[in-house]
Amino acid sequence: MESTLFEGIIKRLSETSEAGLSFNEIEALKFLREETRKQAEIYKAFTDGINSKKWDMALSNFILFTQRVNMVLLYLLQPTNVSLLVGSKISNLIEEYLSTVSLSLSSSLLLLRPYLKEMGIESITASLSSNPPSLNVSMVIKSA
């Protein structure tokens, strides 16, 4: 399901013309194109790790995916870019991107949950922070 979501946003981002966009819109579009492609690759590596029960691979890609989403959030919510979120020609793409990664992060946590004991993780929690905008993930690892 997430790969389909990523495919949709990647396609829409690549098909969006830069003609008529402001400098900030063009830069944000370029950044989102590249980051969304990278995030889709990382998410696929994460799900591959879960499916093959390679827990180190799954966890490292989950953490990397979360880190990259946080990086995009920080970029998009810089004072010079906040105007892109409302009334911009690419605001609908930004909203679609945010929906895609939100669903993917939620799904990631749900995919991890049944295997926590096998991974040696006692608990995992996630929370959203508003300043700076980020998703925080905490894991309690069992002692050996």
pLDDT by residue for the chain (144 residues), tens only, comes to 455 779 999 999 999 999 999 888 899 999 999 999 999 999 999 999 999 999 999 999 999 999 999 999 888 888 777 777 777 889 899 999 999 999 999 999 999 999 999 999 999 998 888 777 788 999 998 865
pTM of the model: 0.89
**How many C-beta neighbours within 10 Å does residue 48 have?**
13
DSSP string, 15-77: HS--TT--HHHHHHHHHHHHHHHHHHHHHHHHHHHHHTT-HHHHHHHHHHHHHHHHHHHHHHT
CA dihedral angle for residue 142, residue 69, residue 39, residue 96, rounded to 10 degrees: 130
